Amino acid sequence: MALTHRPHGLLLDFGGVIFETHKRPDGLKDVARHVREMLLRGGYDLSEDELARELEAGRTGLKHWKHSSSRRPYPTEIDAREVVGEFLFSRLPEGPRRLLIAEATELLATISMTMSDHIVRPGIPELLEFCKANEIPLGIVSNAHAGLAHRRILAEHDLDSYFGVQVYSDEVGIRKPHPGMIAQAADALHVDVDKCWYVGDTQDRDVVAGSAAGVAGLILTRSKHTDNPPFYVRETPDAVFDDPRGLLDALINATEQMDPYSSRGTSTTSQQSSSESQQAPAASQPAPTSSQPGSVLLPTGASSKSDPASSHQTSGSLTTNVFGSRAALLIDHGGVISTSTPNPEAVNEVAEDIASRIPLLPGDVVTASEVREAIDSARAVHKKLKTAWNEAFLAGSRTDIPEQQPTEFWATVNEFLGVVNAAWFRAEAHDLTVRFARAKTSRTLRPGIPELFQTCRENGMAIIVVSNTISGRTVRSECERHGLTIDAFVCSDEIGVRKPSAPIFEEALAIASADPKNSWFLGDKPVNDATGARRAGIANRALIRGGSTPDNVLDNALSDGTATLVVDTPQQLSAAIIHSLAKEDHVHNV
């Protein structure tokens, strides 16, 4: 019997196994109210009823898509921007739709946590404690359009520390029944997939995925989905329990049996399975261009296929820019909204956390100082690459500059560490990036920014942050911490291209339905900010002193027409905007 022997790893689905969900009676209405408030800040007035109808229709369409994808042997996941822009709010007018697409990741997390209550299933606390006491590694394998929400929910219930890895479909780019998700989790834990138990709650996704991955034990804990698959499923589980208490009993009984397996971590079965699954047509991974650390950072185009974010440039069908007549302030974050100083102590803490969490093979040791050195080396590789890309852009041999994705950065860190756990870094890349981005610098709000924003509000101007960043989530949280209200954020890690590429500016203009001739951009870098804004047709291009660019370089940008204004303070830009608007009013009144 498959469940007679102790597993070397236990892999759990999220919904239906660890948590059961109960729909909140007012969940849909609450989400519609939240979305309405988002859109009102951006200058769009849509009723709660209309938004609720759109959301309900979109959720129905998405449900059918999920069922259809379960018939595919190697389904890929669609990213957050596509979920929001092509399903949930696909029929909204273009401006509001694009605004919601820009905020897709956080919006989907809010929807997930607002629509339903998440209740820990009976037996889960005892199961997790048993596995901890008996040194059975735990991993999560979950189809999720908001893995961010799942991570938050686990942390809120103090359950996150039990799991050695969390594999979510929106973060790894494939979804069950693709067996690669299960194989990746096993690989990240350094256990063989054929010595793991996998526990889910659906036949069409979990049973099929577990069977294809070749797990030792395939188990269902019954939920509302278990007995009603959308279509016939040939594969069958080894056991079905009413709740995780039955799973715990089975695990206790199996633990009491003699373990016939070889010692954990000595076989390459799971590594081969993960590699083979990832190489299936629906989830191929790019081969490195060389054997040197950092080679993964050398894509040939404007985006990389190694990360679900690689499709962000086109997700949500942002293929046609429709500009309006409104004026907008497009503004950089780092060096403009806030100034920053390095925070090496906080980065050391991140390195210590990684060194303590990363699953290693017996005998392997990774120290915090080694992790810190690998992070610094990966950053140096990327900095060199950004310089080369900018030079190619200015020379006319590149039109767009790609943004490095989280999986690429942490793959490079892993290479500098000696390839200690590629699967773990790939699964945890997005969460690690946010932690690192929040730690690497301490940020201080630049004086005068709130007053500048007030000037824009009083004159009906949209405010859109346009930022080159490894973590748009961090940029948002910093602006929120400073008490700033922003209409939308256009961040390079989310759309796949960096400034000075024109598309990042054009998307911001389209979100605001703004006329580039009447709009302003405020940055601190002549090439990234002023040159990019100029190529996007933005007439008013201001650079501010006190950022990362020397004053003489800013002055040269003003002299050669790259910038149209150089200011010392945000208040000076406020005065320039008011003066410009007064001139326009005078022209219109003549």
pLDDT in tens, 10-19: 999 999 999 9
pLDDT value of residue 310: 42
Cα–Cα dist 408/422, whole Å: 11
Instruction: Look over the chain and give the mean of its residue pLDDT values, rounded to a whole number.
Output: 89
Main-chain phi, psi angles of 298, to 5 degrees: -115, 60
pLDDT in tens, 449-482: 999 999 999 999 999 999 999 999 999 999 999 9
pLDDT value of residue 275: 41
Cα–Cα dist 407/378, whole Å: 12
Kindly give, in sequence order, each residue whose CB lies less than 8 Å from that of residue 346, ignoring residues fewer than 6 positions away: 438, 439, 440, 442
Please give the C-alpha separations between residue 509 and each of 37, 487, 498, in angstroms, as whole numbers.
Answer: 20, 12, 16
Position 152, amino acid? R
Assess contact for 198 and 308: CB atoms under 8 A.
Answer: no
Q: Model confidence at 325, in pLDDT bands (50, 70, 90)?
A: confident
Assess contact for 21 and 207: CB atoms under 8 A.
Answer: no
pLDDT value of residue 583: 74
pLDDT value of residue 206: 98
Q: Model confidence at 276, in pLDDT bands (50, 70, 90)?
A: very low
Instruction: Tell which wins on pLDDT, 271 or 142.
Output: 142
pLDDT value of residue 303: 36
pLDDT in tens, 97-150: 999 999 999 999 999 999 999 999 999 999 999 999 999 999 999 999 999 999
pLDDT in tens, 197-248: 999 999 999 999 999 999 999 999 999 999 999 999 999 999 999 999 999 9
Q: Model confidence at 263, in pLDDT bands (50, 70, 90)?
A: very low
- Listing DSSP states for 516-559 in one string gives TTT-EEEES-IIIIIIHHHHTT-SEEEEETTSSS-HHHHHHHHH
Q: Model confidence at 2, in pLDDT bands (50, 70, 90)?
A: confident
Q: Model confidence at 548, in pLDDT bands (50, 70, 90)?
A: confident
Q: Model confidence at 91, in pLDDT bands (50, 70, 90)?
A: very high
Q: Domain coordinates of the chain in residue numbers?
A: 9-21+118-283, 25-115, 328-337+443-589, 344-439
Please give the C-alpha separations between residue 150 and each of 171, 232, 240, in angstroms, as whole numbers.
Answer: 12, 29, 24
Cα–Cα dist 11/131, whole Å: 11
Task: Find the mean pLDDT for residues 286-297.
Answer: 34
328-337+443-589 to CATH, choices 3.30.930.10, 3.40.50.1000, 3.40.50.720, 3.40.50.300? 3.40.50.1000
Instruction: Tell which wins on pLDDT, 284 or 2.
Output: 2
Q: Two tokens at 540?
A: 């008013």
Task: Find the mean pLDDT for residues 436-457.
Answer: 97
pLDDT in tens, 366-403: 999 999 999 999 999 999 999 999 999 989 999 899 99
Please give the C-alpha separations between residue 312 and each of 142, 218, 252, in angstroms, as whole numbers.
Answer: 22, 35, 45
CATH architecture of 9-21+118-283: 3-Layer(aba) Sandwich (3.40)
Cα–Cα dist 29/17, whole Å: 27
Q: Model confidence at 321, in pLDDT bands (50, 70, 90)?
A: low
Q: Two tokens at 89?
A: 């709010």
Cα–Cα dist 443/215, whole Å: 47
Counting residues of the chain whose pLDDT is more than 70, the rounded percentage is: 87
> Taking 60 as the threshold, does the pLDDT of residue 67 lie above it?
yes
Cα–Cα dist 501/533, whole Å: 9
> Taking 60 as the threshold, does the pLDDT of residue 286 lie above it?
no
The b-or-e profile of 170-199 (16+ CB within 10 A means b, else e) is bbbbbbbbbbbbbbbbbbbbbbbbbbbbbb
> Taking 80 as the threshold, does the pLDDT of residue 35 lie above it?
yes
pLDDT value of residue 322: 57
> Taking 50 as the threshold, does the pLDDT of residue 288 lie above it?
no
Q: Model confidence at 86, in pLDDT bands (50, 70, 90)?
A: very high
**Can you tell me which residue has the tokens 């605001």?**
512
DSSP 156: H
**Can you tell me which residue has the tokens 């309405």?**
36
pLDDT value of residue 281: 41
Is the bond leading into 177 cis (omega within 30 degrees of zero)?
Answer: yes
Cα–Cα dist 298/67, whole Å: 36
